[in-house]
């Protein structure tokens, strides 16, 4: 199976990106993690993206905060799909990163998830890889079915507790 490349602009993004590791591990998707910065180590970032397809990657996830051009910079150097996670670092709560990740000019797309949306980034990466992998497709479907089951359970619990909650 092709790997997911998870690139962080800084090791300070790790607490956000951790959810992507957990989700990919749970789905049995192999991944590699690197810290490359579009402004502090641009040569290394571009070199990774240029060689990614040849090195067995199928999707790249790029997480960065502030003026987060990392995802776009990687996308410029590869035709693999790039998923951007805008991180809520800095003083603007991630809105700066959201806009600089999602507002890519035409021609070089970045599939942008929510601010700090590492879990969705991982699920989307798995869904892309699952197009060519029936077993992974099944595991993604099972993950979604599990989510559905949990919500149904919560509703059942709510029906049991609602009188007590309203009385409180």
94: contact with ligand RP5 by CB under 6 A: no
Residue 42 CA to residue 113 CA, distance in Å, equals: 23
Helix (H) or strand (E) holding 4: strand 3-8
Residue 129 CA to residue 151 CA, distance in Å, equals: 27
Q: Is the CB of residue 21 less than 8 Å from the CB of residue 13?
A: no
64: contact with ligand RP5 by CB under 6 A: yes
Closest to ligand RP5 by CB, 32 or 133: 32
For residue 41, which of 66, 13, 70, 67 has the smallest C-alpha distance? 70
For ligand RP5, which residue of 23, 89, 101, 112 counts as binding (CB under 6 A)? 89
Closest to ligand RP5 by CB, 66 or 126: 66
37: contact with ligand RP5 by CB under 6 A: yes
Contact residues toward ligand RP5 (CB under 6 A) are 9-10, 12-13, 37, 64-66, 87, 89
């Amino acid at each position: 199976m092709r790997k997911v490349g998870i690139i962080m602009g800084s090791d300070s993004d790790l607490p956000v990106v951790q959810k992507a590791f957990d989700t990919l591990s749970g789905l049995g998707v192999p991944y590699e993690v690197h810290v490359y910065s579009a402004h502090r180590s641009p040569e290394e970032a571009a070199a990774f993206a240029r060689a990614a397809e040849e090195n067995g990657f199928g999707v790249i996830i790029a997480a960065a905060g502030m003026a987060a051009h990392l995802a776009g910079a990687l996308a410029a150097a590869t035709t693999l799909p790039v998923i951007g996670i805008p991180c809520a670092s800095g003083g603007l709560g991630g809105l700066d990163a959201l806009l600089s990740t999602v507002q890519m000019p035409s021609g070089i797309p970045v599939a942008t998830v929510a601010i700090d949306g590492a879990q969705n980034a991982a699920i989307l990466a798995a869904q892309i890889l699952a197009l060519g992998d029936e077993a992974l497709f099944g595991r993604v479907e099972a993950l979604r079915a599990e989510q559905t089951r949990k919500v149904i359970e919560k509703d059942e619990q709510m029906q049991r507790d609602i009188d007590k909650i309203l009385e409180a």
